[in-house]
């Protein structure tokens, strides 16, 4: 056989079989080209984000590949939500160990497809390579906002209220549970915490509301305490948080009741993928109403003040944390 | 110390020290936010590409980190060149082994910065993680073209001439040399082949010319034979290549003279990062003149015909290759 035959490489076949159905945007050219293109709507900015997850670091090797794919997408979708952006699509760079099975790939593609559809965020292109290391899934995601409207970390001003969506700490406690913690929880409580670690539930339903009302926003991925500290630093302000107001699930409360040290884990542990934002006080009620209409629970947990740092107040006393946030370094 | 202190994580410090100077675009927000944004010029499309390189797969562990960074950027820049796109910027997702030294990072950032400047392609954001595996550098790059003007693989029609830039096979032969081949080469020839493997020289200077004249284009990254086969498949045509016309460097000729099997390696081996394109015959002279004006050597190597596959003709005989192109699978 010469070069005239039309053999496809294993990589081409893999892409054709599993990933093409996710590349529904015409600019993706059905993944038959070197690159893709997108035509942004006039008057919009393209929001850009990349975040990777690695086997043994951000997920367990034995996790269902469907969940791995969805986690990889959702950690990026969460950033778009916090920036007030609507997803446009994503690129995926996938490094796979040699022994990766066809079934793993099939499950991975299934997860990617499900969430690409659920979040209207199609695949525009990708790159697959063999690696002697663990699975690594690097997603680059792009979204759109009206020009100049991307919500930033900078923008919090003294007097603004601090809000978070959902509940805080569940995923971090789910990880501790998975690592062998033996708190006396109900089956439903265990399941809740484990599920919150396994699969983020990003708040893309709130993106427009964040854009309309928030003075500053970010998603909580490295722990509430550390992430709020970052927001304060860039905004040049302090935040005073009422620890009692921080929303916790029943399951998280039960874990903290069993082991008081878990309160710090909940506040600093990361993987929440909730939205943290500040809202001018005059707009707080309207923000709350808009969030309710969007179906996303939000809680006022404190106030922005002049100064520096995030201060977590437990009654009259400020909490001292052993570490501010989760870091892979 | 409580959460009120302004400690930065090791990751934040690393980013601040080394990567901020590369994030020169205002939309990168000096890497102080979760995401970045870019405002595409009216009437333009955003071209999207991702490609990763992995230690021990695409480069050697002992390679200078400066070259690793530049290779990671350039394999993506090469795609933009072939698509006729002007670079806008990039995102980098970096997985680092635990024992990565500060010096390695410094060299890596140096290379990233040099090429970001040389190609006017600034950093918009990134993600760094520790990995139990080898270094992985995943770049997502975006560029711009006038709306609808991205040059595709589909578009080659019977009668169109087939062109390549530069010389073919140098990088593949450089890899064989690095793996221990003992051909009788001059020091300059050795250095030429090794350098072509170590560091691609993407043809971004030709991007506008490709856009103006090419009916189809792609960059040669997986070997001329395999990549041309892909272009033919998507265009629904055949290509007949005159092997004697394929441009080879003196060094490549010397390697092939020493070992005739190296001809196949040159034609199928990959990592060329030259532009392969087709041009309607009536425009071929103008294309050649425009390429000359851009300072990029181009060579007419054959013709598009009806049919299927890429046929490499050596006199009257068609070459039979053992494998069409390099695949990491």
> B279 φ, ψ to 5°?
-135, 135
Domain end: B120, B146, B172, which one?
B146
Instruction: Output the pLDDT for position B5.
Output: 35
Q: How do residues A121-171 score in pLDDT, each as one tens digit?
A: 999 999 988 899 999 999 999 999 999 999 999 999 999 999 999 999 999
Q: Which residue has the higher pLDDT, B15 or A217?
A: A217
Report yes or no: B316 at the A interface, CB cutoff 8 Å.
Answer: no
Which residues lie closer than 8 Å to A208 by C-beta, 6 or more apart? A84, A86, A294
In a domain, A4, yes or no: no
Residue A265 C-alpha, separation from nearest chain B C-alpha, in angstroms: 13
Based on its alpha-carbon atoms, the radius of gyration of chain A, rounded to whole angstroms, reads 21
Contacts of A229 in chain B (CB under 8 A): 3, 6
Structural domain boundaries, residue A195: 161-318
CA dihedral of residues A28, A31, A32, A35 (deg, nearest 10): 60
CA dihedral of residues B148, B150, B154, B156 (deg, nearest 10): 100
- This complex has an ipTM of 0.92
> A184 φ, ψ to 5°?
-80, 85
Residues B241 and B216 in one domain: yes
Please indicate whether, in this complex, the C-beta atoms of B50 and A92 are within 8 angstroms of each other. yes
> B105 φ, ψ to 5°?
-60, -40
Residues B176 and B308 in one domain: yes
Contacts of B60 in chain A (CB under 8 A): none
Residues B101 and B225 in one domain: no
Residues A306 and A173 in one domain: yes
Tokens describing residue A108: 């991975």
Domain count, chain B: 2
Q: Cα(B201)–Cα(A300) distance, rounded to whole angstroms?
A: 54
Residues B39 and B108 in one domain: yes
Report yes or no: B243 at the A interface, CB cutoff 8 Å.
Answer: no
Based on its alpha-carbon atoms, the radius of gyration of chain B, rounded to whole angstroms, reads 21
How many residue pairs bridge chain A and chain B with CB atoms within 8 Å of each other?
293
Please indicate whether, in this complex, the C-beta atoms of A46 and B45 are within 8 angstroms of each other. no
Strand partners, B92: B126, B139
Phi-psi region of A161 (alpha: psi -120 to 50; beta: other; left: phi over 0): beta
Average pLDDT, chain A: 93
Residue B80 C-alpha, separation from nearest chain A C-alpha, in angstroms: 8
The residue among A116, A115, A105 whose CA lies nearest residue A23 is: A116
| 3-state helix/strand/coil string of A119-183 | CCCCEEEEEEEECCCCCEEEEEEEEEEECCCCCCCCCCCCCCEEEEECCCCHHHHHHHHHCCCCC
Closest residue in B to A154 (Cα) is B33
Instruction: Output the pLDDT for position B12.
Output: 64
Q: Cα(B86)–Cα(B40) distance, rounded to whole angstroms?
A: 12
One digit per residue, the tens of pLDDT, for chain B of length 329 reads 233 334 456 656 776 788 999 999 999 999 999 999 999 999 999 999 999 999 988 898 899 999 999 999 999 999 999 999 999 999 999 999 988 888 899 999 999 999 999 999 999 999 988 899 999 999 999 999 999 999 999 999 999 999 999 999 999 999 999 999 999 999 999 999 999 999 999 999 999 999 999 999 999 999 999 999 999 999 999 999 999 999 999 999 999 999 999 999 999 999 999 999 999 999 999 999 999 999 999 999 999 999 999 999 998 899 999 876 654 43
Contacts of A29 in chain B (CB under 8 A): 152, 154
Report yes or no: B110 at the A interface, CB cutoff 8 Å.
Answer: no
Q: Is the pLDDT of residue A317 over 60?
A: yes
Q: Which of B140, B147, B313 to mutate to test the interface with A (most CBs of A within 10 A)?
A: B140
Instruction: Output the pLDDT for position A324.
Output: 65
A182 burial via Cβ count (<10 Å: 0-12, 13-18, 19+): exposed
Instruction: Output the pLDDT for position B329.
Output: 37
Phi-psi region of A77 (alpha: psi -120 to 50; beta: other; left: phi over 0): alpha
DSSP B56-104: TTTB-TTS-HHHHHHHHHHHHHHHHHHTTPEEEEEEEEEEE-TT--HHH
In a domain, B2, yes or no: no
Closest residue in A to B45 (Cα) is A39
In a domain, A44, yes or no: yes
Kindly state the DSSP code that residue B40 receives in the 8-state scheme. Answer: P
CB atoms near residue B21 (< 10 Å): 16
Residues A265 and A313 in one domain: yes
Instruction: Output the pLDDT for position A323.
Output: 72
In a domain, A152, yes or no: no
Question: Are the C-beta atoms of A113 and A121 separated by less than 8 Å?
Answer: no
Instruction: Output the pLDDT for position B13.
Output: 74
Q: Cα(A150)–Cα(B125) distance, rounded to whole angstroms?
A: 15
Q: Point out the least confidently predicted range of A8-12, A179-183, B97-101, B208-212.
A: A8-12
The residue among A52, A116, A51, A128 whose CA lies nearest residue A88 is: A116
Question: Are the C-beta atoms of A51 and A75 separated by less than 8 Å?
Answer: yes
- Of B50, B133, B152, nearest to A132 by CB-CB distance is B133
**What's the whole-model pTM score?**
0.93
**H or E element in which residue A328 lies:** none
Instruction: Output the pLDDT for position A122.
Output: 97
Q: What residue ranges in A222-297 does DSSP mark as E strands? A: 238-242, 274-279
| Helical pair A250-258 and A170-178, crossing angle rounded to 10 deg | 50
Q: Cα(B251)–Cα(B235) distance, rounded to whole angstroms?
A: 33
State the CATH number of the domain containing residue B244. 3.90.650.10
Q: Cα(A153)–Cα(B27) distance, rounded to whole angstroms?
A: 13
Domain end: B87, B113, B146, which one?
B146
Domain end: B119, B146, B173, which one?
B146
Residues B20 and B128 in one domain: yes
In a domain, A89, yes or no: yes
Instruction: Output the pLDDT for position B328.
Output: 42
What is the pLDDT confidence band of residue A57, given thresholds at 50, 70 and 90?
confident
Q: Cα(B51)–Cα(A2) distance, rounded to whole angstroms?
A: 28
Q: Which residue is it, tokens 């400047």?
A: B117
Q: Is the pLDDT of residue A8 over 80?
A: no
Instruction: Output the pLDDT for position B3.
Output: 32
B positions 183-242 inside 8 Å of A (CB): 218-219, 222, 225-226, 228-230, 233-234, 238
A positions 25-84 inside 8 Å of B (CB): 27, 29, 32-40, 42, 45-52, 54, 56-58, 79-80, 82-83
Please indicate whether, in this complex, the C-beta atoms of A34 and B138 are within 8 angstroms of each other. no
Q: Is the pLDDT of residue A208 over 50?
A: yes
3-state secondary structure of A309: strand
Residues B170 and B142 in one domain: no
Residue B294 C-alpha, separation from nearest chain A C-alpha, in angstroms: 23
Instruction: Output the pLDDT for position B210.
Output: 98
Q: Which residue is it, tokens 């100077």?
A: B21
Residues A126 and A235 in one domain: no
In a domain, A154, yes or no: no
3-state secondary structure of A226: helix
In a domain, A106, yes or no: yes
Please indicate whether, in this complex, the C-beta atoms of B329 and A93 are within 8 angstroms of each other. no
> B195 φ, ψ to 5°?
-65, -35
Report yes or no: B126 at the A interface, CB cutoff 8 Å.
Answer: yes
Question: Are the C-beta atoms of B126 and B16 separated by less than 8 Å?
Answer: no
In a domain, A151, yes or no: no
Residues B133 and B181 in one domain: no
**H or E element in which residue B125 lies:** strand B123-130
Average pLDDT over residues A173-196: 96
Average pLDDT over residues A24-29: 95
3-state secondary structure of A232: helix
State the CATH number of the domain containing residue B37. 3.30.1330.10
Please indicate whether, in this complex, the C-beta atoms of A37 and B48 are within 8 angstroms of each other. yes
Residues B127 and B171 in one domain: no
DSSP B126-193: EEEEE-SS--EEEEEEEEEEETT----STT--TT-EEEEES-SSHHHHHHHHHTT------HHHHHHH
Residues B183 and B272 in one domain: yes
Average pLDDT over residues A239-255: 98
What is the pLDDT confidence band of residue A295, given thresholds at 50, 70 and 90?
very high
């Amino acid at each position: 056989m010469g070069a005239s035959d039309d053999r496809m490489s294993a990589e081409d076949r893999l892409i054709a079989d599993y990933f093409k159905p996710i590349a529904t945007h015409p600019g993706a050219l059905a993944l038959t080209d070197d690159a893709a293109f997108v035509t942004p709507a006039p008057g919009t900015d393209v929001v850009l984000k990349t975040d990777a997850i690695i086997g043994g670091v951000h997920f367990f090797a034995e996790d269902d590949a469907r969940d791995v794919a969805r986690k990889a997408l959702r950690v990026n979708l969460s950033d778009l939500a916090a920036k007030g952006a609507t997803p446009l699509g994503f690129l995926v760079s996938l490094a796979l160990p040699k022994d990766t099975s066809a079934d793993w790939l099939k499950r991975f593609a299934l997860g990617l497809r499900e969430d690409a559809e659920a979040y209207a965020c199609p695949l525009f292109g990708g790159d697959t390579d063999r690696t002697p290391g663990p699975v690594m899934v690097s997603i680059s995601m792009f979204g759109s906002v009206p020009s100049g409207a991307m919500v930033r970390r900078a923008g919090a001003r003294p007097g603004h209220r601090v809000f978070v969506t959902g509940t805080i700490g569940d995923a971090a406690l789910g990880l501790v549970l998975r690592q062998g913690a033996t708190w006396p929880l109900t089956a439903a409580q265990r399941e809740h915490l484990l599920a919150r670690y396994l699969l983020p539930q990003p708040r893309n339903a709130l993106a427009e509301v964040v854009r309309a009302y928030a003075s500053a926003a970010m998603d909580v991925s490295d722990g509430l305490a550390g992430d709020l500290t970052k927001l304060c630093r860039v905004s040049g302000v302090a935040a005073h948080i009422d620890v009692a107001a921080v929303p916790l699930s029943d399951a998280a409360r039960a874990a903290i009741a069993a082991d008081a040290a878990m309160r710090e884990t909940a506040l600093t542990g990361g993987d929440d993928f909730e939205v943290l934002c500040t809202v001018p006080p005059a707009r707080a009620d309207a923000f709350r109403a808009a969030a309710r209409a969007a179906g996303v629970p939000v809680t006022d947990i404190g106030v922005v003040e002049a100064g520096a740092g995030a201060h977590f107040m437990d009654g009259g006393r400020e909490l001292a944390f052993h570490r501010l946030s989760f870091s892979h370094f």
